[in-house]
Chain A
Amino acid sequence: MTNAIETVNLTRRYGKTLALDNLNLQVARGSIYGFIGPNGAGKTTTLRLLAGLLEPTGGEIRLMGERLRADGGAGQHLVGYMPDFFGVYDDLRVWEYLDFFARCYGLGGKRRQSTVDQLLDLVDLTAKREAFVQSLSRGMQQRLCLAHALVHDPPILLLDEPASGLDPRARVELRELLRTLRDMEKTIFLSSHILSELAEICTEIGIIDSGRMVVSGTVDAVRRQLQGGNTLRIRVLRAAEQAEALVRDLQPAANLPEVVQVRRDEADVHLLYVELRQANEEQQAALLAHLLVQGIPISDYHMQAEDLEHLFLRLTEVT
């Protein structure tokens, strides 16, 4: 099966600034792809390129296997685009807003009416049908804007920073909505500079920095791929210095792990992070036993999966 979105050496320059540098992106159909990067990394540029609002300086874009032409053309029917800063028309009712965009896509008569009704139902705004757009809360406007991107039933949805500026409840609602859309077999490509927003909902993520893809794949694969350091989190009741010294001076033996680095938590003096060369449960058990034998009172001992937040920071620092 062809990918929903595929870019080959996609490059975009703004004058002398290189915004996107040979981006190769593959997004499988039916996935929720989280596109993560710090501000100015090239996320919005990529989304605008995919939506046909920008022309690439080099490379090409394929949507559902079709090559995106320079003039947009068929691409506009394949994607629904929700910009970062979306606009609403004052003095337009909620249903009229959707009706307007349905008209823009050439939907006529009854079909337009039923589409508007279905979409209002989907984004849970049926009760607000007759309300003016400007009277909606930010979260509702966001959902309405998402609905506008769906009027022509596109297989691909491009959402630029969909969760920005939403309160926690609205965020949860958005997440639910995205799950529903995935069940409708839409491919969703969304960007964010906040990783935790995406970690739970995305099936795949890509991390971009300075116009270059740093890493891409399923969430677990990315995590695995990047877990060069396996960190043990050890919490002691007392004698933290002693414990630190013990671990640091650990002689690598057959059954003991090789320690790369030991550091104390800055805020919590009883917390130690021990970075091991490689994860090995036998060795971890041996290390625990070793520490206990030395009389270190340990209250917590576990392997710390590096969270995406740290990973992200580490990655974007390096590049």
Chain B
Amino acid sequence: MKAVRLFPPQLNPIIVKEVRIRMRGVRPYAILTLFLVAMAVAGYGIYLLMLRQASFGGMVLSFQVGQSLFSGLALCAVLLMVFLAPAMTSGAISGEREQLTYEMLLATPLRPARILWGKLVAALSYIFLLIFASIPVFSVVLMFGGVAPKDMVKTLLLLLVTAITYGTIGMFCSALVRRTSQATVLSYVFILLLIGTTTMASVLWSYFNAPTGQAIPPQLLYLNPFSALISIVTITPDAGSGMFLGGDVLNLPLINQLSIGVVHYGPNGPLVLPIYRATLLFYALLTVTLYWVSSHMVLPRHRRRPRWGDLRFVLLLAGMIGLIWLVRDWWFVLPPQNP
């Protein structure tokens, strides 16, 4: 019997094949171009908006332009990721089934878990390419200033985690159902539930709760990537300065809506809850769980039967939950109670 070569470790064949197919033709470059154009147009639009405000007599400082640009671009990037990532992965397994190549793959020594991993890495590497290609667009922000590099790194981290999570959602749906069209619809429904319900809940909360204006429990927003983004890109002035110059929160209408529940206005000025911390942790948890279930769904038979590989997932999840519990003071932040 010829064993699979262990050393030097072989590149996952699926990755090689996927990258060959994915990077062929006009499509990958068209998507990249569209992505960058969308980002650039969004940036220019925000810049024009700021100019308009200035022309109406508002005081617009350079750092405010920088902050607005940054938050607007970041929002745009997250929005594109939320829609692109599942589209990239929702054909991963169902596509092989539709092309009738899945049987042929299963007849090789390639294990389903490796097929899944290769598919995810290949799809995400293209998404990461999009994210990294958009960094120069983000760097326009640096011309205006007002954004700390730390916030940029946090935003990048959130973007990457969002891409991985939503990519995994797409792949999970792809493994779950037989047809790619169904998988795509299912993954968007999944995402709509994830984002739509959290946004709706936070909006409705303020209507149905007496006394009005009572703080929304931030737990409602943990799984919403936009809320998480707001919590990163909303820049509050130093507590000591005592002067709130009206950052991006006031300037961009959409962001203003999404900031409900994230930004709280107290007597000492606005307070931004660091929701993104919980988002990152719970997205990691969701990703591992979905990946685990997917690794069962791709099996040709006995999908529900427990396997030894499950032990690794159980240990990983237990470790993650333990870690989340340990750092609960870091992420579990409640808004100040209104007097």
Interface residues of A (CB under 8 A from B): 51-55, 72, 74, 76-77, 79, 81, 83, 85-92, 96, 99-101, 103-106, 108, 148, 152
Contact = CB atoms under 8 A, between A and B. Distances in A.
Nearest to B24: A91
B304 interface: no
Contact of B107 (A74, A81, A88): A81
A285 to B, nearest CB: 57
Interface stretch (B12-20, B119-127, B282-290, B326-334): B12-20
Contacts of A86: 100-101, 104
Contact of B104 (A79, A96, A108, A148): A148
A55 B302 CA distance: 10
B108 interface: yes
A176 B102 CA distance: 29
A100 B16 CA distance: 8
11 contacts: A53-B107, A83-B103, A85-B100, A86-B101, A87-B104, A89-B99, A101-B104, A104-B108, A105-B4, A106-B3, A106-B10
A89 B14 CA distance: 12
Given A77-B109, A152-B2, A103 B10 contact: yes
A90 B18 CA distance: 11
B99 A88 contact: yes
B37 interface: no
User: Which of B13, B16, B104, B106 lies at the interface centre, i.e. has the most chain A CB atoms within 10 A of its CB?
Assistant: B104
Contacts of B16: 99-100, 103
Contacts of B21: 89-92
Given A85-B100, A87-B100, A51 B107 contact: yes
A66 to B, nearest CB: 9
Contacts of A54: 301
A106 B101 contact: no
B315 interface: no
B300 interface: yes
B300 A105 contact: no
A214 B108 CA distance: 32
Contacts of A96: 17, 20
B201 interface: no
Contacts of A74: 1
B267 interface: no
A314 to B, nearest CB: 34
Contacts of B104: 81, 83, 86-87, 101, 148
A91 to B, nearest CB: 5
Nearest to A152: B2
A72 B25 CA distance: 37
Nearest to A78: B1
Contact of A101 (B4, B5, B10, B108): B108
Nearest to B107: A81
A52 B301 CA distance: 11
Contacts of A100: 13, 16-17
A77 B103 CA distance: 15
B79 interface: no
A53 B10 contact: no
A52 B3 CA distance: 17
B189 interface: no
B7 to A, nearest CB: 10
A143 B5 CA distance: 28
Nearest to A52: B107
Nearest to A79: B107
A152 B24 CA distance: 28
Nearest to A99: B16
B128 to A, nearest CB: 21
A263 B44 CA distance: 91
Q: Which 8 A-B pairs have the closest CB atoms?
A: A87-B100, A103-B13, A87-B101, A106-B4, A104-B108, A87-B99, A81-B107, A100-B17
Interface string B213-237: 0000000000000000000000000
A101 B107 CA distance: 10
Interface string B85-112: 0000000000010011111111111100
B20 A104 contact: no
B107 A106 contact: no
B99 A92 contact: no
A88 B105 CA distance: 11
Nearest to B114: A104
A43 B10 CA distance: 36
A136 to B, nearest CB: 15
A101 B13 CA distance: 8
Contacts of B106: 53
